[in-house]
Amino acid sequence: MGKQNRTVQTCLGTGAQECGMMVSETDKEDVGCLWWGNQANTIILVVLVFLWLLKKLISATQHRWFAYVMHLCTKDEFIPLEEVKRDHFASMSSIISQDPELRKKNAIKILEIGVGTGVNFAHYPKGSHLVVVDPNPNFKSYYDSNKGKFSNILTEEFFVTTGDDMGMIDEGSVDVVVVTLVLCSVNNIAKVLREILRVLAPGGKFYFMEHIVEFDVKKHWWRRQMQDIFTHWLPVWPFIFDGCQLNRDMLPDIQKAGFSKVEAEKYYAPVPHWVFDPERPNMKGVATK
Ligand SMILES: C[S@@+](CC[C@H](N)C(=O)[O-])C[C@H]1O[C@@H](n2cnc3c(N)ncnc32)[C@H](O)[C@@H]1O
């Protein structure tokens, strides 16, 4: 309105034709501005919704793709790694359950976090009751077909959730927590460790096995560089392997989490292909609540 008045006043000293033109151009400008003003919010909203949907789609595709890649990588037994695992989990068979009912049956209750396709079944004591957690629902079908091969264990629930959000599992209700190749991709390690301590029964055991940052940098400086490059500079590893970070060391987090005892060792793990060389530095151990 103000702008229109201003235009008419300017017109008084000029010819009528000219004046008419000026008014209509200004009006056009105003209508344009008004249209943009009204539509801008709608356009921004539409763009945001589109970006959100795109992010969801990429994320869902990535999760499906990752589950499939993990299935391909784990479907055939890799004997050298199985031998390391056999040794790592051997002490589980001497654990006595805190649950009187399970104790009568000489069984224990295990919670595996980030179970993926289910690659550790073969190492669990006969009669174990197993509850599992994984945020990626695309693993469920691979997990189901794997568990069918192991009658030595009794699988209970598959919870689609992260390790730092396991409210559905009661405090002090499991004898053993297992984590293999998971802490490299969780957002908040300290929070996951707090949850592990919460769900473990007194004296319960936490078995962990993780690839970590190169620990002999003098000898393997090149691998250390590769770990940084593929994690941060050219982040193909987190992209393909669902957020996996090659250059983490979770042992200090485990040591300060509040367990009464932590026994751990660093070692070089056998890998099935040279492509996985950046994942060779590993650590494994058992922490007691
Ligand atoms: C490299 S895979 C390892 C799977 C299996 N544990 C193994 O040893 O083959 C990592 C697994 O951790 C899961 N994961 C990722 N973030 C997680 C989180 N915050 N809490 C629990 N599991 C998580 C992934 O969905 C995936 O199943």
- Residues of the chain with pLDDT below 70 are 1-33, 59
pLDDT digits (tens, 9 = 90+) for 112-151: 999 999 999 999 999 999 999 999 999 999 999 999 889 8
The whole-number pLDDT of residue 57 equals 72
CA dist., res. 147 & res. 119, Å (int): 9
The whole-number pLDDT of residue 5 equals 46
Atom of ligand 1 nearest to the CA of 134: 22
163 Cβ inside 6 Å of ligand 1: yes
Interval between CA 161 and ligand 1 midpoint (Å): 11
189 Cβ inside 6 Å of ligand 1: no
Residue nearest atom 4 of ligand 1, based on CA coordinates: 116
pLDDT digits (tens, 9 = 90+) for 52-96: 877 777 767 888 989 999 999 898 889 999 999 999 999 999 999
136 Cβ inside 6 Å of ligand 1: yes
CA dist., res. 247 & res. 90, Å (int): 28
**How many other C-beta atoms lie within 10 A of the C-beta of residue 88?**
20
The whole-number pLDDT of residue 240 equals 87
180 Cβ inside 6 Å of ligand 1: yes
Interval between CA 156 and ligand 1 midpoint (Å): 19
**How many other C-beta atoms lie within 10 A of the C-beta of residue 39?**
11
Q: Which stretches of 126-235 are DSSP H helices?
A: 140-147, 189-199, 221-228
Radius of gyration from C-alpha coordinates of the chain: 29
**How many other C-beta atoms lie within 10 A of the C-beta of residue 65?**
13
114 Cβ inside 6 Å of ligand 1: yes
The whole-number pLDDT of residue 22 equals 53
Residue nearest atom 25 of ligand 1, based on CA coordinates: 136
What domains can you pick out in the chain, each with its CATH number? Answer: 2-54 (no CATH), 78-288 (3.40.50.150)
74 Cβ inside 6 Å of ligand 1: yes
